Amino acid sequence: MYWNPGGLANVKEHGLSAMYSKWVADLNFNSVSYAFPIPAVNKHNIATMAVGIASLSQGNLEGRDNNRQITGTFGASDLAVTVGYGRKADIYNRNFNIGFNTKLIYQQIESESATGIAFDIGLQTHLFTPKLLTGISIQNLGQEMKFVNTRYNLPLNANVGFGYVFDSTILSVDFKRRLYEGDNTVSFGTEFSPIKALSLRLGYQAPSFSKNLQMDSPIGFSLGIGLNILNATLNYAFVPYGAFGDTQRIDVSIRF
């Protein structure tokens, strides 16, 4: 739902998921989502809807006045409510997964706030062989947001990803373009499942290049593990962010 709404078309049963991430600089990211299939018009038009809430919050920040005197503490947080839709479509005799998200975004710092609406679109299809899945998505289409007297754009991202499935291994590569900043990033990943109940994951985030060809600090390698027990899945990931520190995230999902 969050990475490519076209993937919702693959959801064939009800699913509830929640994620918690301890991020850098005392930031915490939390999300919960619920996906459910809806009646199909015909066998080709399998559709799924999803709703989700995601929040990013920071611990207490120290406030100071114009004379740099401490005035107390304040908080900062972001909240996004997302409604997504995905379905399978037969276009020119090729099967596609297509989807979109509508997001209501609320940002707050101390007593000031901003509200906006953004959209994601996504598409998935198999190329050449059923083992090769390709996905394309654009995130955060929408108008500028206004915070106090300042207008700013949400980060507009274009993503292209490829995944190849072997018997027990998945290899993937993802390309991201931050359209406003002009930065490009490339990520590689692999997932190995020695048994059906266990998945081992390794990823690598390559350095990004900005418009002036300067390199940012690489994120480097990340590690993850997934457990599948009956209709429940538990995932854990360790993701370093270079000089900013390391992050950890855990998510659990239930299908019913």
pLDDT at 41 over 60: no
More confident residue, 163 or 206: 163
pLDDT of residue 143: 86
pLDDT of residue 80: 95
pLDDT of residue 213: 44
pLDDT of residue 211: 53
- Please state which CATH number belongs to domain 5-255: 2.40.160.60
Pairing between strand 183-195 and 198-205?
antiparallel
**DSSP3 helix / strand / coil % (the chain, rounded to 5):** 5, 70, 25
Look at residues 81, 61, 80, 79 and name the one whose alpha carbon lies nearest to residue 71.
Answer: 61
User: Average pLDDT for residues 79-102, to the nearest whole number?
Assistant: 91
pLDDT at 64 over 50: yes
43 — pLDDT class (breaks 50, 70, 90): low
CA–CA dist 124, 114 (Å, integer): 33
pLDDT at 244 over 80: no
pLDDT at 172 over 60: yes
Mean pLDDT of the chain: 87
Domain boundaries, the chain: 5-255
User: Average pLDDT for residues 233-252, to the nearest whole number?
Assistant: 88
pLDDT at 202 over 60: yes
User: Average pLDDT for residues 66-90, to the nearest whole number?
Assistant: 86
User: Average pLDDT for residues 132-155, to the nearest whole number?
Assistant: 91
Cross-strand partners of 240 = 246
pLDDT of residue 45: 61
Segment among 15-24, 44-53, 61-70, 183-192 with least mean pLDDT:
61-70
CA angle 202, 133, 4 (to 5 degrees): 80
User: Average pLDDT for residues 72-90, to the nearest whole number?
Assistant: 89
Please name the amino acid found at residue 20: Y
Q: CA distances (Å), 252 to each of 16, 17, 33, 174, in order?
A: 8, 6, 11, 24
pLDDT of residue 223: 95
Give the three-state DSSP class for 1: coil
pTM across the whole model? 0.84
pLDDT at 180 over 90: no
